[in-house]
Structure 1
Amino acid sequence: MHTNPKNLAIKDFVYELPDERIAKFPLPERDQSRLLYCRNHTIADHTFQDLPELLPAGSLLVFNNTKVVQARLIFRKPTGGEVEIFCLEPVKPHREVQLAMQQTRSCTWKCLVGNNKRWKEGPLKIFFEGGVVTAERDAQQDGHFLIRFTWTPAELTFAEVLERCGRLPLPPYLNRELTPEDRTRYQTIYARNEGAVAAPTAGLHFTDNVMNALQTRGIASTYLTLHVGAGTFKPVKADTMEAHEMHAEQLMVSRQVVAQLQQHLGRPLIPVGTTSMRSLESLYWLGALLLLQPDLRPEELHITQWLPYDTKTPPAATEALQTLLDYMDRHQTEHLHASTQIIIAPGYTFKLCNGLVTNFHQPESTLLLLVAALIGEDWKKVYRHALDHDYRFLSYGDSSLLLP
């Protein structure tokens, strides 16, 4: 039975993070970052290149192959002032990120607008080589706007428009201007499906060398997609978690991968990053949900924040995954699309994951709660060790392998 994290106080998940410990820039070589290894309450220092040897034999690593899009658009007004539009998520004609990125001619997105007061009326334009993109305000909702984009040449996809005009959205806490190397270094080497506005940062340490070493060691790997939203940086403002609303993120997985996960049950399943972990656990809960409501339509596949804690008798993992496979067969689809608001916090019982590769997260964040759910009170020991031994923190920082 789950104990419910609704009553957790976020102030219990705080530690002192001096600004100079935040890695402002990536290291010259991705796999030269440090790796804190925590297994059975014991901590050891390594470099990331050692990961293949440290993983339990027979592990399956699960990677998130989302790709960060250049979601920041800087429009200059005729008078010279700047208005920044930050694309958060698509609204129409498609809500699904994959489809929205392939949209041509025009689309509407939910956006944040910087310097909105300067935008008196009328459309804004960005001219680029061979074309122009225009932004118009459709509506204002709490804290954000619906912005309608139109562009020429009309046959360009929205992904291509962002690629030509947009800027990479670096995490706010880096507090610096973009450099040319951010374009490559703030993407994983296996990034494929465009749609994230933040990188799945645990994956930033992987190089071809590390990937080859994994294969040599017989460590299998597989990929799913969770489009990381800006909500990943949303600080917890509420005193207890019950009042914190988790952001929703879009998840995509192939039938082949669900089958692979099912076949691997009983052996170590290790997500690379908190987004992969959220995805894997959400897949289990989707199966549990479909077991109770087999007639849900594909667009109703959504895991709410507290579903795992409100479920009285959760099914076995193999049954949950089989239910997903059966659902995909009934709907004759090779890819499952869903959204998830799952919160993984102390009191959560893991259904699929047996460990985690992850960076060091901000105090009072839902990502730190997830780490604490996995390794319990050891999180304090791990973070104390990292602070005492000069580990680098956050997106461009060092890594850890946590095996409870």
Structure 2
Amino acid sequence: MKLTDFSFDLPQNLIAQFPPEQRGQSRLLVLDRMQRSRSHHHIADLPSLLEPGDLLVFNNSKVRKARIYGTGAGGGRVEFLLLKQQDPQTWTVMAQRTKRRRMGTRYIFDDALEAEIIGEEGELRLLRFDRPIDEAWLDRHGHIPLPPYIRREDSPADSERYQTVYAAVPGSAAAPTAGLHFTEELLAHLTERGIESAFVTLHVGLGTFLPVRSETIEDHLMHEENYSIDEENAARIERAKAEKRRVIAVGTTSVRTLESAWDSNAGKLCRGEGATSIFIYPGYTFKVVDALFTNFHTPESTLLMLVSAFADRNFILDSYREAADQGYRFFSYGDAMLIV
């Protein structure tokens, strides 16, 4: 398939630059794959749109303040995005104007922290700091890694709003944004209706948000991301599958975790930690996920390709056009879809 098969036009004013005034106030477009029908709702309607016994699977990874700024020898400010910690002092990073960031170049960060580029991995760099940096340092000096289509600096409010209410395990360089719609009140209403919840962890990195640069999508290689599933949550998901209750993934990262961890021969999920570079695009056969709650995704992204594998590509793109016509807000801070 061609990359352009996943293109669509979107007016700039529909790209949400801020979250809704209150969490959980967004709109919800519901797609029925079999009937090829659409209906318009709000996030608060979700409990009534699901059935008792349904199981929602959330990604509980927590976004770290992974964007930091260093000063080079020439005095200019350079942005780095921390992707993966290799050891207490060394990180894989994405650097601003990557080609200029050469081996041996040194930078000074807040709190007199110094670092040197000690390795190159394609468009990524290995940055070694002169002392370990931890979550406490990042909380003081780092910035929320808002995506580039949000054209503003991060604010203190983003520290809360670009984070799910159930985030528990630090490690993501971007939010699992489908989960941003859920409030404690909504989760309680879902439980009252008999809808169960389970949690997996996938730390969002380049595998999720790196653009596809090959004209033929099958040539795209996904970067590896780490995930984990514990015994209690794996058993809960397996029980739902065995009882033929719907497993509803909240977000594409939950989809990729479930589909990567499923052992088809055993009919079970692999427990513990793992890594995935799974690339899901049209033609893929889903093994675990029966329905999907997700945001609207950027053109030509692997996320849009995953959603187009779950429902027919033309149906998805038609639905995106209708959402745009109806004034839905798009991308990380925008509205949501439920695909059943």
- TM-score relative to the length of structure 2: 0.92
TM-superposed CA distance for 1:138, in Å, is: 1.3
TM-superposed CA distance for 1:111, in Å, is: 1.3
Amino acid at match of 1:19: Q
Please list, as runs of the form range in 1=range in 2, the aligned pairs for 1:212-361 lying within 5 A after superposition: 212-265=188-241, 266-284=244-262, 287-288=263-264, 315=265, 319-321=266-268, 324=270, 336-361=272-297
| Corresponding position of 1:133 | 113
Segment drifting more, 192-201 vs 142-151? 142-151
How far apart, in 2, do the equivalents of 1:118 and 1:190 lie? 37
TM-superposed CA distance for 1:388, in Å, is: 1.2
Please list, as runs of the form range in 1=range in 2, the aligned pairs for 1:145-156 lying within 5 A after superposition: 145-151=125-131
Amino acid at match of 1:226: L
Segment drifting more, 267-276 vs 48-57? 48-57
The equivalent position to 1:186 in structure 2, one of 152, 162, 176, is: 162
Task: State yes or no: 1:362 paired with 2:298.
Answer: yes
The equivalent position to 1:111 in structure 2, one of 73, 76, 93, is: 93
How far apart, in 1, do the equivalents of 2:303 and 2:40 lie? 22
Amino acid at match of 1:359: N
| Corresponding position of 1:17 | 10
Task: State yes or no: 1:197 paired with 2:166.
Answer: no
Amino acid at match of 1:64: N
Structure 1 residues 18, 259: closer, same or farther in 2, change over 3 A? same
Give 3-state SS (helix, strand or coil) of 1:31's partner.
coil
8 Å contact kept, 1:198–1:230: no
TM-superposed CA distance for 1:115, in Å, is: 5.5
How far apart, in 1, do the equivalents of 2:229 and 2:104 lie? 42
How far apart, in 2, do the equivalents of 1:41 and 1:122 lie? 55
TM-superposed CA distance for 1:180, in Å, is: 1.7
8 Å contact kept, 1:81–1:118: no
TM-superposed CA distance for 1:75, in Å, is: 1.8
TM-superposed CA distance for 1:11, in Å, is: 1.5
Segment drifting more, 107-116 vs 239-248? 107-116
| Corresponding position of 2:330 | 393
8 Å contact kept, 2:29–2:337: yes
How far apart, in 2, do the equivalents of 1:238 and 1:120 lie? 27
| Corresponding position of 1:124 | 107
Structure 1 residues 114, 357: closer, same or farther in 2, change over 3 A? same
Amino acid at match of 2:49: L
The equivalent position to 1:34 in structure 2, one of 22, 27, 30, is: 27
Give 3-state SS (helix, strand or coil) of 2:309's partner.
helix
TM-superposed CA distance for 1:78, in Å, is: 6.9
How far apart, in 2, do the equivalents of 1:178 and 1:220 lie? 34
| Corresponding position of 1:69 | 64
Structure 1 residues 127, 383: closer, same or farther in 2, change over 3 A? closer
Instruction: Name structure 1 gaps, 5 residues minimum.
Output: 1-7, 94-105, 289-314, 329-335
TM-superposed CA distance for 1:143, in Å, is: 1.7
Amino acid at match of 2:200: L
TM-superposed CA distance for 1:150, in Å, is: 2.9
TM-superposed CA distance for 1:236, in Å, is: 1.7
Structure 1 residues 120, 370: closer, same or farther in 2, change over 3 A? closer
Give 3-state SS (helix, strand or coil) of 2:190's partner.
helix
How far apart, in 2, do the equivalents of 1:276 and 1:252 lie? 11
Structure 1 residues 77, 192: closer, same or farther in 2, change over 3 A? same
TM-superposed CA distance for 1:190, in Å, is: 0.7
Structure 1 residues 143, 78: closer, same or farther in 2, change over 3 A? closer
How far apart, in 2, do the equivalents of 1:119 and 1:14 lie? 34
| Corresponding position of 1:382 | 319
Amino acid at match of 1:75: G
8 Å contact kept, 2:72–2:106: no
Give 3-state SS (helix, strand or coil) of 1:188's partner.
coil
Instruction: Name structure 2 gaps, 5 residues minimum.
Output: none
- TM-score relative to the length of structure 1: 0.78
How far apart, in 2, do the equivalents of 1:252 and 1:347 lie? 26
8 Å contact kept, 1:357–1:399: yes
Q: Percent identity?
A: 42
Structure 1 residues 268, 236: closer, same or farther in 2, change over 3 A? same
How far apart, in 1, do the equivalents of 2:103 and 2:217 lie? 39
TM-superposed CA distance for 1:207, in Å, is: 0.6
